[in-house]
Structure 1
Amino acid sequence: MLYQAIFIPDGETQPSRDILIEPNIQQSLKGWGRKGDTALIAIDASNNPIGAVWVRLFDENNSTYGYINSQTPLLGMALLPEYRGKGIGTALLGEMLRITKKAGFGAVSLSVDPNNPALTLYKRLGFKKIGVDGTSWNMIVEFNE
């Protein structure tokens, strides 16, 4: 799913899966299973994974795209192309935000290309742009008490 999370604009060539060894991308899931790592996986009727959303904490020594601070979980999300636009991403993201808030976190951050159609979903669920990192926007949603 990490590969599916990499936004490629229409008309551009899909990168090789070797992009997953790029340090900032690899850092997103390296050592998965640490305290605070949480994921949800959507499956189809045959139990095949079709999408996922995940959060994890980073610090200045092991940060990646979208990092805000060591108390704010960083979110990643992907759906297989044929399942996009069907409400699955909305359900996954909404549930992950509920879980993260219930766990006591005050916010969640993410990184998104401003041309990615998922930006509409993020804005609808309350994410706000707080900065730019390369060609991507850093966004955050803060939870109200």
Structure 2
Amino acid sequence: MNDYQIRLGVKEDEEFLWEMLYQAIFIPEGEPRPSRDILKEPHIAQSMEGWGREGDIALIAMDADQTLIGAVWVRLFDDTNKTYGYVDEKTPLLGMALLPEYRGKGLGKALLGKMLKIAKQSGYEAVSLSVDPNNPALHLYHKFGFKQIGVDGTSWDMVVKF
């Protein structure tokens, strides 16, 4: 897929980032997607609530028509607001999603690669994430050097160090 652009996210992208948070919820093939009310669950909502605080970074992918099609984001948490994939207050937690019709075309690889470069340039020593081990994105995370460091419910906590 070559006709896309990636730009830095802005505060006005918050609504789209909420949609991407919903899309990031892994649902096994053939199972129904949960209601969007799942975004109100505290451990999920805190992943995006108050977007735009210090340390929040997003990259937004757009198609040739400037339609938003995917995003990757990092943000810092601490012991008072930790969520899935949390390591420590110095390690940003990564989230990423694409609209379903854009998956498997190399866009996730481009987004993740750019975000990891930005995170490293921002002085972070590592980035963490949480992923269901059945999620096809796990292969991509392994390619970029993410290693499993724990299990939280049905998901793996992973980290890549720079």
Give the TM-score normalised by the residue count of structure 2: 0.87
Gaps of 5+ in 2: 1-19
- Local SS of the residue matching 2:71: strand
Q: How many matched pairs?
A: 143
Matched, 1:85 2:85: no
Tell me the amino acid that sits aligned with residue 20 of structure 1: L
In structure 1, C-alpha distance between the alignment counterparts of 2:79 and 2:65, rounded to whole Å: 41
Counterpart of 1:103 in structure 2 is 122
Alpha-carbon distance, 1:11 to partner: 1.6
Alignment match of 2:79 (pick from 53, 60, 63) = 60
In structure 2, C-alpha distance between the alignment counterparts of 1:43 and 1:6, rounded to whole Å: 21
Counterpart of 1:3 in structure 2 is 22
Counterpart of 2:38 in structure 1 is 19
* Identity across matched positions, percent: 73
Tell me the amino acid that sits aligned with residue 48 of structure 1: T
Root-mean-square deviation (CA, aligned residues, Å) is 0.5
Alpha-carbon distance, 1:51 to partner: 0.3
Counterpart of 1:37 in structure 2 is 56
Alpha-carbon distance, 1:56 to partner: 0.3
Give the TM-score normalised by the residue count of structure 1: 0.98
Tell me the amino acid that sits aligned with residue 73 of structure 2: W
In structure 1, C-alpha distance between the alignment counterparts of 2:104 and 2:29, rounded to whole Å: 16
| Greater per-residue helix proportion | 2
Alpha-carbon distance, 1:90 to partner: 0.2
Instruction: Point out 4+ residue stretches in structure 1 off by more than 2 angstroms.
Output: none
Gaps of 5+ in 1: none
Alpha-carbon distance, 1:46 to partner: 1.0
In structure 2, C-alpha distance between the alignment counterparts of 1:30 and 1:64, rounded to whole Å: 12
Matched, 1:124 2:138: no
Matched, 1:142 2:155: no
- Provide Cα deviations, 1:87-129, integer angstroms capped at 9, x if missing partner: 0000000000000000000000000000000000000000000
